[in-house]
Structure 1
Amino acid sequence: MMQFSEIPPLHQIPPFSIPTMNKNHIHRARPWPGFPTSKGLGSFGDANCMEQLLVHCANAIESNDATLAQQILWVLNNIAPPDGDSNQRLTCAFLRALIVRAAKSGTCKMLAAMANAHCNLSIDIHTFSVIELASFVDLTPWHRFGFTAANAAILEAVEGYSVIHIVDLSLTHCMQIPTLIDAIASRLEGPPLVKLTVAGGATEDVPPMLDLSYEELGSKLINFARSRNVVLEFRAIPSTYADGFSSLIEQLRVQHLVYAESGEALVINCHMMLHYLPEETLSPFSNVNSNPYSFEPSSTQSLRTMFLKALRGLDPTVVVLVDEDADFTSNNLVCRLRAAFNYLWIPYDTVDTFLPQGSRQRQWYEADICWKIENVIAHEGLQRVERLEPKSRWVQRMRNAGFRGVSFGEEAISEVKTMLDEHAAGWGLKKEEDDLVLTWKGHNVVFATAWLPA
C-alpha cells in the first residue's frame, strides 16, 4: 500500500476539481507532471487505502489544514470517479460529504470557497409515486426482509383477535401493509377489522420521499383492503421523530383504556424509523418520572428510552423492531466515518447485482445512500438524524423498557428464506438467539426483533 507520505507536495498538485453527482459526468484521472498517471494511481484503489485517505482528509479538514486536505482531495478525486466500481462510488460519496462539511462548517475556508465556487453539491432525491416505491422496495431484501419477518410475528401474535390496531412507524410509507392485509385476509377465522395509525409527516425530510399525502395514501390502502374483503380504518396523526413521537404517544394513551377494554390487539410496527429519535450523544434527557408517558426532560435519558417506556405503558400485544445493524452515534467524526464506510459499502456492492449502471432506479437508489452519507458526515446536532445503533444496543433498550424478546417461528424463517431465494446469491439469513439477521456476504445488514411486555 502506498504511504500517505508519498502524496506529492502541494506545488506538484494541479488545480483541484470537485466531484459532482451529475450522471452525465464521465470522470477520467488525468496525468499531471510529478504525479503518477491513472495507471499509477491503481495501487490507491484498494478499499482499505481509500478509507485511510478519507480518514486523513477528515482529520485535515477538522484541523483546518487546507493544504493537506487539498492534496488528499485531489488524490481521492482521481481514484474515486462517480461512475466507477462500487468502492469508488462509495468513496466518491464520502469525498463529496467531506466537502459539504467543509463548506457548511466554515473550517478549512479555502475548501469552503472552492466548494461554493466550483459546483452544486446538492443531491437529486427522487420523489416516488406509490407504484414506483412499491416496485423499488421489492428490488432488494433490504426492506423486504423486515416486512416478511415482521408480518409473520404479527400474524402469530394477533391470532384470534377480531380487531387489530396497527401503529405503523415505517420509513417506507406503509409499503409493508398490503402484504400484511393479504395475509390477514386469508385467516381461517375470517378477516378482522384493521385499524391503521401512522405518524403523518414523520419523515418528510428523509428519503425515500412519496409524492402524495398520507390522507391520499390512506384512501389507497382502504380501497386495497376492501378488494381483499378487509375493513380498514386509517388515521394519520401529525407527529415527528424529533420530539419522540410525543403527540402520537399521547393520542394512543388517551385511547388506551378504550381498546384495552374492547379486546383490541395493539401492534407497534417499527421499521427503520426509531434510529431517527434523538439519543444520548445528542443531548441528555431525564429519567422519566413515575409517569411512563412523561416527555419532560430533566437528566439522563434519551427520547429513545422515553419513547420505549411510553410504549410499554400502552401494554401492546406485540412490538416489532426492524433496523439496520450499524453504529453511527459517535460524536467523533473519524469514528463515524469508519463505521459508515464499513457498513455502507454493502448497498453499493449489492446494487450491482440487481440494477444496471445508468438506470434511473440505480440513480434513485444511490442518491438515497449519498443522502445518508452526507447526513452522517457533514451534519451535527439536531440536523444529524442518521443515528443508527447496533442490534445489541436496541435489545438492551427494549429489555430496560420492560419488554422480553420472543423468537421467530420456523414458519417465519421459512418465509424469509423463500423471499431471499428471489434475490442474489450473496444474501443470507442467520438466527441470533431470538432475533433474525439479514446478511450480505456474511456481514450483518438488517436485524428483526419481536417483543412482548415482560
Structure 2
Amino acid sequence: MQIPTLIDAIANRFEVPPLIKLTVAGVTEDVPPMLDLSYEELGSKLVNFAWSRNVIMEFRIIPSSYADGFSSLIEQLRVQHLVYAESGEALVINCHMMLHYIPEETLSDFPGSKSNPYSYESSCSSMSSFRTTFLKSLRSLDPTIVVLVDEDADLTSNSLESRLRSAFNYLWIPFDAVDTFLPRGSKQRQWYEADVCWKIMNLIAHEGLQRVERLEPKIQWIQRMRNADFRGISFAEDAISEVKTMLDEHAAGWGLKKEDDDLVLTWKGHNVVFASAWLPV
C-alpha cells in the first residue's frame, strides 16, 4: 500500500517520467504477516502500476535474513552501484516493521559464526549487537533519508514475567481493533488473529535467538538512531493533515498524534505504531 501511494505522489510532481529504483529485502525466513504473493509477483504488480502512472520503476530483490542483521542486503547495497548521486538520485531507506526481527545479541553470540558478517565495517566490533551494527552500517551508506516505522511496545525483557506483563498491556489492542472492524469467522479476521497468536507464542515459548520478534519502544529506537549518528526531522504538516483526514473518514477509533518530531498511531488513545524520519549527522 505504501509504494502505490508514493508512486501517485511522485507522478503528480514531474512532467518528465521519474525513475524509482525499489530494492527489497527478500526475507528468507517465514515470519508473519505472510503475504499470499511472491516477491516477483509483487514487483510485477508495482512496476505495472507505476507504468500506468507514467513512472518508470526498477524492482530488485536481494535475498537476506534478519538473523544476521540483513548483512547480505547491506553488502549488496554497498558493492552494487544502485544510486547515482551525481545524477540527482536519492537513497531512501525505509525500515518498516522489520528491525524488531534483528537479534539483540552481540555478533560474538551468533551460533556457528567464526567471522563477523559485517567484517567490512571497521567500526563494528564483535561485542556490538546486531541492531547497533545494522544501524551503523546504514549510516555508512550515507543515505539521503531513513524512515523508521515500528510498533511502540517493549517485549525485549529476558524475564518471562515482564514480557507477559508488557504483552498483556499491548496485545489487547489488536484483538479490540479486530472486533471493531472484522466480522467473526471471516478469512481476514482468521489471518489477523493468527498473526497475533504467533506473537504470543513467540514471546512465551522461545528464549535467546529462538525468540524471533522483540519489540522495542520508540524511545529506545530514537536513542539507537542518535547513537548511529542520525538526527530526527519532522514530517510536513500537509502530510500529517492528510493522514488524519484518512483516519477520520475510514478508521474510527484510530488516531494520530505528534510527539516531538515523530508521529504516533493510536488506538483509543493508546500508542500502537510510531513513524520517524532521520538524516545523517
TM-score normalized by structure 2? Answer: 0.91
Partner Cα distance (1:366, 1:258) in 2: 40
Partner Cα distance (2:223, 2:124) in 1: 23
Partner Cα distance (1:278, 1:330) in 2: 13
**Which residue is 2:33 aligned to?**
208
**Which residue is 1:225 aligned to?**
50
**Which residue is 1:400 aligned to?**
227
Aligned pairs for 1:13-412 (under 5 A) are: 175-202=1-28, 204-255=29-80, 259-280=84-105, 293=121, 298-299=126-127, 301-412=128-239
**Residues 196, 352 of structure 1: CA spacing in aligned structure 2 closer, same or farther, 3 A cutoff?**
same
**Alpha-carbon displacement from aligned partner over 1:299-339 (angstroms, at most 9, x marks no partner):** 2x211111111111111111000000001100100100110
Q: Is the 8 A contact 1:246 1:295 kept in 2?
A: no
**Alpha-carbon displacement from aligned partner over 1:172-225 (angstroms, at most 9, x marks no partner):** xxx4211111111111454411101011134x4111212332122212211111
2:175 is paired with a residue of what secondary structure? helix
Deviation at 1:295, TM superposition (A): 9.0
2:62 is paired with a residue of what secondary structure? strand
Aligned length in residues = 275
Which amino acid in structure 1 is aligned with residue 75 of structure 2? E
Partner Cα distance (1:185, 1:424) in 2: 27
**Which residue is 1:448 aligned to?**
275
Partner Cα distance (1:383, 1:280) in 2: 11
Point out where structure 2 has 5 or more consecutive residues left out of the alignment. Answer: 111-115
1:330 is paired with a residue of what secondary structure? coil
Deviation at 1:281, TM superposition (A): 8.3
Which amino acid in structure 1 is aligned with residue 97 of structure 2? M
**Alpha-carbon displacement from aligned partner over 1:18-37 (angstroms, at most 9, x marks no partner):** xxxxxxxxxxxxxxxxxxxx
**Alpha-carbon displacement from aligned partner over 1:228-263 (angstroms, at most 9, x marks no partner):** 111111110111111111111011111359623333
Q: Is the 8 A contact 1:196 1:233 kept in 2?
A: yes
Deviation at 1:297, TM superposition (A): 5.4
Partner Cα distance (1:271, 1:228) in 2: 24
Q: Is the 8 A contact 2:92 2:144 kept in 1?
A: yes
Q: Is the 8 A contact 1:194 1:232 kept in 2?
A: yes
Normalized per residue, which structure has more helix? 1
Point out where structure 1 has 5 or more consecutive residues left out of the alignment. Answer: 1-174
- % identical equivalent positions: 81
Partner Cα distance (2:241, 2:181) in 1: 23
Deviation at 1:341, TM superposition (A): 1.0
Normalized per residue, which structure has more strand? 2
Which amino acid in structure 2 is aligned with residue 293 of structure 1? E
2:80 is paired with a residue of what secondary structure? helix
1:265 is paired with a residue of what secondary structure? coil
Partner Cα distance (1:292, 1:309) in 2: 12
Which amino acid in structure 2 is aligned with residue 234 of structure 1? F
Tell me the C-alpha RMSD between the 2 structures: 2.3
Which amino acid in structure 1 is aligned with residue 27 of structure 2? G
TM-score normalized by structure 1? Answer: 0.57
Partner Cα distance (1:237, 1:391) in 2: 28
**Which residue is 2:247 aligned to?**
420
Partner Cα distance (1:212, 1:439) in 2: 29
